Structure 1
Amino acid sequence: MTMLTGLPPSRLWNFFAQICQIPHPSKREEALRNWIANLATAEKLRLKKDQKGNLLIRKPASAGMESCQPVILQAHLDMVPQANADSGHDFSRDPILPYIDGDWVRARGTTLGADNGIGVAACLAVLTDPTVKHGPLEVLFTVDEEAGMGGAFALQPNWLEGKILINTDAEQDGDIYMGCAGGLEARLNFTLDFEALPEGYQTYQLQLSGLQGGHSGLDIHEDRGNANQVLCRTLFRLQQHFPLKISALNGGTLRNAIPREASAVVALPLSQRAEFAAWCDDEAQRLKQEYRHIDPAVQLTGSPCPQAEQVLTAATQHQLLAGLTAIPNGVIRMSHAIKGVVETSTNLGVIKIDGEQLSAVSFVRSLTDEGRLHLRSVFAAIAALSHAEAVFSGDYSGWAPDPDSSVMQIVRQQHQRLFGHQANIMVIHAGLECGLFKKAYPDLDMVSVGPTIKGAHSPDERVSVSSTERFWQLLTATLAAIPQHQR
């Protein structure tokens, strides 16, 4: 950890190193929240917590800036808990182990938590650094962002006083975000009927692995392999060549992460062992050819495993594989209004069998309400055709761009002054909490900035050191440039 504290800006990196020591996956942010609350108390700052667990800290203005417009800095406390299969990491108790790799900070075998830990560290640095110039300041730390934006959904009116909000959850240096996609969870629940494994069948573990995964919003346009989709497609093809029996099927861990691994327990006649092995080899080579440019490390293996006691009935298996294979995944439509930006997408993030039910959980994103509602209809139709139950939750609209945003103009001017070139004004195909803040605070003037983070929501997550320094410079310069109240 000490190696991070030598990076510039040292105060920010020192806080990030401490954040890495405190487990804080989604829905388990208590320890980090309590640590921040104790820090605020030690700094003699005003502190409030709402029923959901969101934390609000107020700091008086710097000397001479008392008449400036109040600003809200915002970050979310939780991180996505993703680990390599061989890491043995327990996110409920084990610290993140960061290390420096050139201009990047990475983690050993897990997600780093730079999303949004760097933003949290920047907010704490502002709160504790007496040299940072700012007007009246509120810092909002939300909970449960990655697993459903529960903190943002629960934010109550009249809690915040500022009219300007700077979100620190953007992930590209040089970009200023002023809009984002809305979201919707679409869950298909399939009822399963089982029967005893027939005589003369051998059970196999069919494993799909080696995919890079990633963020289901920021990386969806790269057409990376989705382990759940690929394995369902593979099983559908397999049953066309063999009298296949399925006993188990699971893949992915989070709805908003492109799944890297998926597995199934299948059974085939003992007499077809050689044919099955050859088919698996051929299918593995076909997948390597298909994904040679984006996921060249993809692997498909089929190996004997302990005998299953029960398998799906033929009718159940037919309906299940038809429904799962039909689930859309990836980019659905590009935006016609904003060139080069994804408008609508969906990610089949989790497949899980629990008792006599299989749940397939997808996360839909769209810049438009129409795109989101269209996919809702698609999932409802798939459910009707495959005799499944469709359950929709967490439906929220996106953050519509405001071309007249005054804070966006301030950030853009400071970027030009500091770095000598214009920033990109962007709309992001990911879910920022800003869209939900607008429901409780429709008059908020908002912008989102951050350092360059790659591989978010995967163990390949990394944050650029040099861009983090520029992010800090831009953030503090923006706070210093906020004008006085208009009379």
Structure 2
Amino acid sequence: MSKDIRELNPRQVWRHFHSLTRIPRPSGHEEKVREFIEGFGRSLGLDTTVDEAGNVIIRKPATPGMEKCPGVILQAHLDMVPQKNGGTSHDFENDPIESVVDGAWVRARGTTLGADNGIGVAAAMAVIESGSLRHGPLEALFTCEEETGMAGALGLKPGLLKGGILLNLDSEDEGELFIGCAGGLDATMTFSYDEQPVPPGYEGFMLRVSGLRGGHSGMDIHLGRGNANKIMNRLLHEGSLRYGVLIGSIEGGSLRNAIPRESMALVAVPAVRREGFLDGLGRLGAAIKNELASADPEVRIEAVSAASPELVIGEPVAERMLRAIHACPNGVMRMSCEMPGLVETSSNLAIVTSNDGAVTVQCLLRSSVDSARAELAMMIGSVFELAGAVAVFDGGYPGWKPDCGSPVLKSMRRIYREKFGKAAEVKAVHAGLECGIIGSIYSDLDMISFGPTIRYPHSPDEKVEIASVGRFWDFLVETIGKVSAG
């Protein structure tokens, strides 16, 4: 098979996706891709605007004779999660993504691929560009900063969109129709500390936790994968209690919505307890590896000799911080009773960093039940505030309540069965789809989310199934044609 994804089918989708891989678009740095999409719309002679939030809207008139058909909005987000393997040299703000065909899948070389949500963007571009598809009025809404807080969706103004049906192209299991999602809330806890000099007789070590699978903090939270911040905290907590380890600095995780894969901490260890510390670390590391043998078999825990830090986090604050992180809820809190197998409420302890006299801990809380999310926030706030930290909760966004009586859902289920000879599964997702926010602004929209099969999004293992992209495209085209025709 060719290694050039532009030769894959459907070519119109892969051609646009290839173009997107050449344009740097990490979340928060979408200037280049926004300019590209705006230019794309204008090159087709279509009404193209960029709103105040940085979203791009392209409008395509209805096929002659279909002007009175229902208006359809195709929605996808422009940005991608920038994650790379250790040792991979890649500048996400300047370098293109190098995609490769790997059997039945397309992946990237050591980085996230950006199929989330580049395939959705590419499919919307292909629809807008098509001269053969019959349809009613079309709008393509390309939102920004979805991965770092959904700023684009939150910045949408009422009255901007005209259509009554929204097809969100940002789901990750072909053959599944999503009709609901979780809302989210960011939690940021800050410990202020005084730096203290390291006493004589200490040696330096760099502790590293790596090799974890990571993944999407909503879609993958139920898989039991290791959290690098939680693992590092266990190492530091035991080291502090048993061997007098002092913490010079810590850095774990990088994105609020990705399960942290790596963490590093520079520590100082009393020289006289060096062997005991290393033996204890080996035993605890072996126990953690055993715990994660099935979910995260490649986890690596190591201590490497390093120059001792000159200054460390003051011990009173360090102890309270370690205890608070140890007690911080992480993972699945509750499963849904209404939809078996769906996570209702969860927390991802995403980031722990120290800098300039402060340790910052960030979590992303998710729930399809607003009161449950509020209770989880109270729980986390209580843990950290009792430990002396300042807790701030912001960036909240609403969930999307399922509507099993949706007319578009009924139509799409019929279309899928007729086209593929089997039933599409109807689900809700424990992730923050933009549908929740858009639906809160445009309350009369009939919304469905679907997409191709993507595995390990938000991690360098991200890959998209080639055949599923073809089925997704065929289903999208059929849906637009039949929904428009009524």
So what's the TM-score if we normalise by structure 2? 0.98
2:72 corresponds to 1:76: no
Once residues 423 and 64 of structure 1 are traced to their aligned partners in structure 2, the CA distance between those partners, rounded to angstroms, is: 31
Q: For 1:19-418, list aligned pairs within 5 A.
A: 19-418=20-419
What's the CA shift for 1:277?
A: 1.9
Once residues 316 and 471 of structure 2 are traced to their aligned partners in structure 1, the CA distance between those partners, rounded to angstroms, is: 59
Once residues 136 and 397 of structure 1 are traced to their aligned partners in structure 2, the CA distance between those partners, rounded to angstroms, is: 28
CA offsets per residue over residues 111-138 of structure 1, 9 Å max, x none? 0000000000000000111122211100
The letter of the residue matching 2:46 is L
| 1:283 and 1:300 in contact (8 A); partners too | no
2:436 corresponds to 1:435: yes
CA offsets per residue over residues 288-307 of structure 1, 9 Å max, x none? 11110111111111111112
DSSP 3-state at the match of 2:88? coil
Once residues 2 and 301 of structure 1 are traced to their aligned partners in structure 2, the CA distance between those partners, rounded to angstroms, is: 37
Name which of structure 1's ranges 465-474 and 35-44 shifts more when overlaid on structure 2: 35-44
Structure 2: segments with no counterpart, 5+ residues: none
| 1:79 and 1:113 in contact (8 A); partners too | yes
CA offsets per residue over residues 33-80 of structure 1, 9 Å max, x none? 111111111110101111110010000112332221110000000000
Name which of structure 1's ranges 380-389 and 117-126 shifts more when overlaid on structure 2: 380-389
What's the CA shift for 1:461?
A: 0.3
Once residues 154 and 138 of structure 1 are traced to their aligned partners in structure 2, the CA distance between those partners, rounded to angstroms, is: 17
So what's the TM-score if we normalise by structure 1? 0.98
Once residues 277 and 232 of structure 1 are traced to their aligned partners in structure 2, the CA distance between those partners, rounded to angstroms, is: 16
Aligned to 2:476: 475
Moved over 4 A (4+): none
What's the CA shift for 1:408?
A: 1.1
What's the CA shift for 1:484?
A: 5.2
Once residues 43 and 460 of structure 2 are traced to their aligned partners in structure 1, the CA distance between those partners, rounded to angstroms, is: 34
DSSP 3-state at the match of 1:308? coil
Once residues 183 and 213 of structure 1 are traced to their aligned partners in structure 2, the CA distance between those partners, rounded to angstroms, is: 19
Once residues 107 and 359 of structure 1 are traced to their aligned partners in structure 2, the CA distance between those partners, rounded to angstroms, is: 31
Name which of structure 1's ranges 464-473 and 374-383 shifts more when overlaid on structure 2: 374-383
Once residues 95 and 346 of structure 2 are traced to their aligned partners in structure 1, the CA distance between those partners, rounded to angstroms, is: 34
| 1:67 and 1:484 in contact (8 A); partners too | no
The letter of the residue matching 1:81 is P
| 1:405 and 1:445 in contact (8 A); partners too | yes
Aligned to 1:424: 425
| 1:133 and 1:476 in contact (8 A); partners too | no
What's the CA shift for 1:238?
A: 1.9
What's the CA shift for 1:475?
A: 0.3
CA offsets per residue over residues 360-417 of structure 1, 9 Å max, x none? 0000110100111011101210122100000111112210001221111121111101
Once residues 314 and 35 of structure 2 are traced to their aligned partners in structure 1, the CA distance between those partners, rounded to angstroms, is: 50
DSSP 3-state at the match of 1:257? coil
The letter of the residue matching 2:151 is G
Equivalenced residues, count: 485
Once residues 257 and 354 of structure 1 are traced to their aligned partners in structure 2, the CA distance between those partners, rounded to angstroms, is: 21
Structure-2 change in CA distance of 1:2 and 1:274 (3 Å): closer
Identity %: 44
DSSP 3-state at the match of 2:124? helix
Aligned to 1:9: 10
Structure 1: segments with no counterpart, 5+ residues: none
